[in-house]
Amino acid sequence: MRVLAMNYLDLCPELERHGPFFRVRLDPDLLATFLSRFDATLVTVELCHQFAVRCVRATVDAGAASERFLPVSLRQLSTADIRQIGYLFGQVSREQQGGTVQIYSSAVSAAHDDLLCSVTVMALRAMNEQRAAT
């Protein structure tokens, strides 16, 4: 029996623009694979972190796009069942050193009514500069 290696970065697909939002369509088979091995809350948090980082990275200029971004805060995580989520939508509020992403979930591609969580993302370089200044 052949065992396929799982790369956790595959959990979040590539972004697409959807009006003022970024959107991803989740792969139910890939999600089921992760959920068979890991706790649903862990998978949800990791997915939200990856999605938020990609959303913030997509809003920065080309020079800063090569920076590393780190999710530093996750708030208001809902109790939604990740197995019922087909799409994630992200609305980014840019900040000087990163941004905050309001992440909405939906079973369908057009709706984005249910707040899943809010994730704050910071540029890693900016965090190192702050530490050096203190």
Cβ partners under 8 Å of residue 36, min gap 6: none
Distance CA 82, CA 5 (A): 22
pTM: 0.84
Does the pLDDT at position 131 exceed 80? no
Q: What is the dihedral of CA 42, 43, 46, 51, to 10 degrees?
A: -150
Domain range annotation of the chain? 12-133
Residue range 19-32, pLDDT digits in tens: 899 999 999 999 99
Place of tokens 């057009």: 110
Q: CA 46, 51, 52: angle at the middle one, nearest 5?
A: 100
Taking only the tens place, the pLDDT of each residue in 81-106 is 999 999 999 999 988 888 999 999 99
CATH number among 3.30.720, 3.10.129, 3.90.550, 1.10.10, domain 12-133? 3.10.129
Cβ-based neighbour number of residue 44 at 10 Å: 24
